[in-house]
Amino acid sequence: MDERLEKALDFSNYMVTLNNQKRALKEKFLSDCVFYQNGGRFTITKDLINFCKTMIDFGNHDELILIDDNDLPIEIENLKDFFQKIVDIYFSASNSYHSEYQKIRNNRSVEKMTQ
């Protein structure tokens, strides 16, 4: 096989593998950002974090009704506690996502990337 064609095929394999690894990491991050409380399922996003922080800043420290991922109203008894938990989970998932992404980004071969 022509050397240029072989290099192009190797690069193509590398890019496919890289994109698959990145997609898998993103999916893991999104699944790590799910939090369950009082029978509700909440996907932790920056919007949810900001909304909770805004409510706390407005003086609502106790009960609050939030709409979960299934469009159900869920009563949150202690908003500060809920807020602290979702922030901790979000940053833990973000840090894990970053460190795993750095590992695959620094690998320059398909063999190293899939180890």
Are the C-beta atoms of 79 and 64 separated by less than 8 Å?
Answer: yes
Torsion of CA 94, 96, 42, 21, to 10 degrees: 100
Instruction: Please state the separation of Cα 27 from the chain's center in Å.
Output: 7
**pLDDT (0 to 100) of residue 63:** 85
Written as tens digits, the pLDDT of the chain (115 aa) is: 688 888 888 888 888 888 999 999 999 999 999 999 999 999 999 999 999 999 999 998 788 999 999 999 999 999 999 999 999 999 999 999 999 999 888 876 655 555 5
Q: Is there a contact between 34 and 45 (Cβ–Cβ < 8 Å)? A: no
pLDDT at 3: 85
- pTM, to two decimals: 0.80
Q: Give me the residue label for tokens 């690894």.
A: 21
Query: How far, in Å, CA of 64 to CA of 109, rounded?
Result: 50
pLDDT at residue 1, as a whole number: 61
Q: Which helix (H) or strand (E) holds 22?
A: helix 3-32
- The pLDDT of residue 4 is 84
What per-residue confidence (pLDDT) applies to 109? 61
Q: How far is CA 81 from the centre of its chain?
A: 21
Q: Give the pLDDT confidence score for residue 84 in this predicted structure.
A: 97
Q: Which of 40, 37, 41 is nearest to 81 (CA)?
A: 37
- Predicted pLDDT of residue 9: 83
Per-residue tokens: 80: 């500060």
